[in-house]
Amino acid sequence: MARINKDQLKQLVEAAIFVADSPLDDTALMEGVLANWTVSKKQLADCLKELELDYRPRGVQLVKVASGYRFQSNPALSPFLARLWQEQLPRYSRAMLETLALIAYRQPITRGEIEQVRGVSVSSHIVKTLTERGWIKVVGHKEVPGRPSLYGTTKGFLDYFSLRSLAELPSMDAFAQLANSTNSVETAEGLPPQNVKVH
């Protein structure tokens, strides 16, 4: 078996770990890419230690996990790397928009009261989504049996719609006008009615 110098060994181990589909352990390295070379366990351990040190200040680092060695990104970079997997969430359903509208216009309001107006139950998913978006929050509890949560809109909601206060929400008078221009609004926004999906 041929000898391999330290630099070559490091290059080969480094490249192997980078291109392998899954982590490589000592045995996989020894019996795989290093099979043709005379390499002691000590040499391999030293090589891996050096690689670990080489990469410590870099954007990716050599780590040992249960099934072997692999390179992974520096955890401090995660918030920025997240942008590589940006995902566009689907448009809100009609049920979602109506729930939000009722909370905005009729707050503080319980889920039961929203269900009364809409005539259908409001799924937990809707309340959760709107809460996670930071648009609604529980502002209290109604003193009726079960002490249901009372929902109201947040400052984040006002900010999103560029409103200084809820008083700036279009009033009923404006509805008539909006209703008349409904078609044009929908067309302008590229929103044919069937796009507003009912879950």
Residue 158 within binding range of a second copy, rule CB under 8 A? no
Of 6, 49, 56, 58, the one binding a second copy (CB under 8 A) is 58
Interface with a second copy in residues 108-147 (CB under 8 A): none
Nearer to a second copy, 14 or 98 (CB): 14
How is residue 82 annotated by DSSP?
G
State the Cα–Cα distance between residues 93 and 125, nearest whole angstrom.
11
Task: Mark the segment that binds a second copy (CB under 8 A) among 7-15, 121-129, 136-144, 179-187.
Answer: 7-15
How is residue 36 annotated by DSSP?
T
Residue 74 within binding range of a second copy, rule CB under 8 A? yes
Interface with a second copy in residues 24-43 (CB under 8 A): 32-36
Of 26, 30, 68, 71, the one binding a second copy (CB under 8 A) is 71
Question: CA 186, 188, 194, 199: dihedral to nearest 10 degrees?
Answer: -70
Residue 67 within binding range of a second copy, rule CB under 8 A? no
Q: Which does 102 bind (CB under 5 to 8 A by kind): a second copy, other proteins, none?
A: other proteins
Is residue 137 within 8 A of residue 151, CB to CB? The reply is yes
Which pair of tokens denotes residue 127?
A: 């309340």
Nearer to a second copy, 31 or 189 (CB): 31
Residues in contact with a second copy, total (CB under 8 A)?
A: 30
Residue 56 within binding range of a second copy, rule CB under 8 A? no
C-alpha distances (whole Å) from 82 to each of 77, 79, 103, 129, 142 are 9, 5, 32, 21, 41
C-alpha distances (whole Å) from 188 to each of 50, 90, 91 are 61, 19, 16
Residue 5 within binding range of a second copy, rule CB under 8 A? no
State the Cα–Cα distance between residues 180 and 174, nearest whole angstrom.
10
Q: Which does 95 bind (CB under 5 to 8 A by kind): a second copy, other proteins, none?
A: other proteins
Residue 77 within binding range of a second copy, rule CB under 8 A? yes
| Nearest distance in Å: CB 6, other proteins | 21
Using the structure block, give the residue that is written with the tokens 């680092």: 61
Listed in sequence order, the residues at least 6 apart from 110 whose beta carbon sits closer than 8 Å to its beta carbon are 142, 148, 149, 150, 151
